[in-house]
Structures are given as C-alpha cells and as structure tokens.
Amino acid sequence: MPRDRIPVTIEGRDLELSNLDKVLYPAAGFTKGEVIDYYTRIAPILLPHLRGRVVTRIRYPNGVDEAHFFEKNKPGGTPDWVRLERLPVPGSTRSRETIDFVVVDELATLVWLANLAAIELHTPQWRVGADPDLLVVDLDPGAPAGLRECCAVAVLMRDRLADSGIAAYPKTSGKKGMQLCCPISGTQPADVVAGFAHAVAEELAAMVPGSITAKMAKQLRPGKVFIDWSQNVAAKTTVTPYSLRAGSSPTASTPLTWDEVVAMATGEMPARQFGPDEVLSRIDAHGDLLAGLLTPGPVVPS
C-alpha cells in the first residue's frame, strides 16, 4: 500500500485516508487532514442535521484556488456501506431520470466524503420521502451592503415570522451573508412553503424598499439585502449548518444567538464569519444552537 494511504476503521467501517498533508486552503496552509479533523470533531453536532437528507457536495480536489465541481451522484468507488437513495431528477442537465444520492447518516460516511475533498455540504429542506420540515430564508448582501445589513434584515424577518407562529434560528453562510432556518411541520409541499416565504419577502421589501429586495435580478441588489425565498423550492439546497466553505481561509456556516445578531446589526460587535476552531469552541460554550430545527414546527400559512 502506498505510504500516503492510511487504512482506518470507523465504527466498524473500513476506509482509507490519503494525502492528509495536501494543502486545500493555500493562503491559510489548511490541509486535508485538518478538514477531516474538523468534520470528525463536529460530527456529533452536524450529523443530526444531515441524517435523512441527500447531500450535494462541492469538491476541491486540488484546493480552493483550483477547479471545483458539484457532485450529486454517488462517486466512483463508493463503499457498499454508504447509504444511497435513488431519486428522480426532473430537468437534469445530463438527461438522467434518477440519481443515486449519498445520505450522510454516520461518521464513516462523513469522513469518507471529507477525504474526497468534499469541502462543502449542501442539503435540501426535506428528508427523503417527506415534505419539507425546514423553511429557509437566505439573506444575500449586494455590495456595499454586507453581513451587518443582513443581520438588521434578519431581525425584521424574525419578528415577521414570529407573527405567523414560526421560530427562526440564525446562522452565517460562511461566505458573505446568512440564513434563517425555521422548523415547520413537514406536512406541506414545497410550493406552499416557497409561496409563503415569497409573500413574506415581498412584504418586507415593500416595507423597506431602500434596503431590501425580493427580486432575483442582480442589477437590483447593489446596496440591498436580497431575501432569497426560492431556497424553499423543491430542487434547491442550502449550505448545511456547520459545513465548511471554500474561500481564502476556512470558514464554516455558524449558528448565532439572536443577541449576537442584534449586536452585529448595531455595530456593537464585528459582523463576520467564523473559522473552524471558533465553531468548535462555540459548541463547547453553547452546544447546538440549531437543536430546535430537529423537532417539527408549525404548519405555514397558505
């Protein structure tokens, strides 16, 4: 066996790790081994958010500065113990009627994907065989607006959703903006959930038209926060909580407290993204701030 391949057994699953010293974030010197270490350490908190959801991966085999690709289908050489779900993909750009999706239900699968340089994990708002159990609002800033402005809009969105009996949990995107994740009943189709999210986005945009837009046209976004309600369409995915993101330095999609969101919105604390070590420290301090997403929520107004 080549010296750069290391056999490991994780909870009874046999796999090989390779090229652990390969630098995936050149500007930060962050290696594949460190990516695997992060995902291993965050797994007890991350796995409940992944279980039962098919995973789209963004792979960076030669690091974040080189070519990357989205991967939905199972990769070649997938171990026979990895859970797969064959699902229809209407409108596939490759004219495929179905795809064998990977589902990350256990630590070994998570480590296996990390070893494939699957830096980013993205999941839908539904679990396999069910209707959406999450409503997600993506807040995307158009420069010069940034995360601080997103936090201000998040507070407005939180209060509006609360008026409909829906609790919102904030997290950074790990890139420019943030998302609000809301547990819902899992008994309504995606078009109903998306329709409600669209209506609320349009309502807030009409309330604060100088700062918010609910329109997808990029030319309307400079200086505004785009409320992307379309994350709730059945075909869409959102970066999974705690997933790493590709950038000059490693960051992760990080849950926030509402006190932190308000402090970022008012400038009392810097509005910024968080690195993997910070995320792990926050787990020690707060536990899983998104644990409320794992319990079904209310029906959305239709």
CATH code for the domain of 169: 3.30.70.3300
Minimum mean pLDDT range among 88-97, 167-176, 203-212, 269-278: 88-97
- Residue 297 predicted with pLDDT over 70: yes
Judged against a pLDDT cut of 60, whether residue 227 lies above it is answered with yes
- Domain count along the chain: 2
Specify the pLDDT at position 92: 54
Query: What integer pLDDT is reported at residue 4 of this predicted model?
Result: 81
The answer to whether residue 15 is domain-embedded is yes
pLDDT bin (cut points 50, 70, 90) of residue 35 is very high
Question: What is the predicted pLDDT for the residue at 97?
Answer: 86
| The predicted structure's pLDDT at residue 95 | 56
The domain containing residue 193 runs over which residues?
Answer: 134-294
Query: Which of 123, 155, 173 represents a domain boundary (last residue)?
Result: 123
70 has a pLDDT exceeding 70? yes
- Does a structural domain hold residue 302? no
Question: Are residue 167 and residue 265 in the same domain, yes or no?
Answer: yes
CA distance 172 to 175: 8
- pLDDT given at position 1: 43
Q: What is the pTM of this model?
A: 0.95
Same domain as 114, residue 183: no
The pair of three-digit structure tokens given for residue 248, joined into one six-digit string: 């000059």
Domain closes at, from 95, 123, 151: 123
HEC string of the chain equals CCCCEEEEEECCEEEEEECCCCEEECCCCEEHHHHHHHHHHHHHHHHHHHCCCEEEEEECCCCCCCCCEEECECCCCCCCCCCEEEEECCCCCCCCCEEEEEECCCHHHHHHHHHCCEEEEEECCECCCCCECEEEEEEEECCCCCHHHHHHHHHHHHHHHHHCCCCCEEEECCCCCEEEEEECCCCCCHHHHHHHHHHHHHHHHHHCCCCEECCCCHHHCCCCEEEEHHHHCCCCCEECCCCEECCCCCEECCECCHHHHHHHHHCCCCCCCECHHHHHHHHHHHCCCCHHHHCCCCCCCC
| Mean pLDDT score, 216-245 | 93
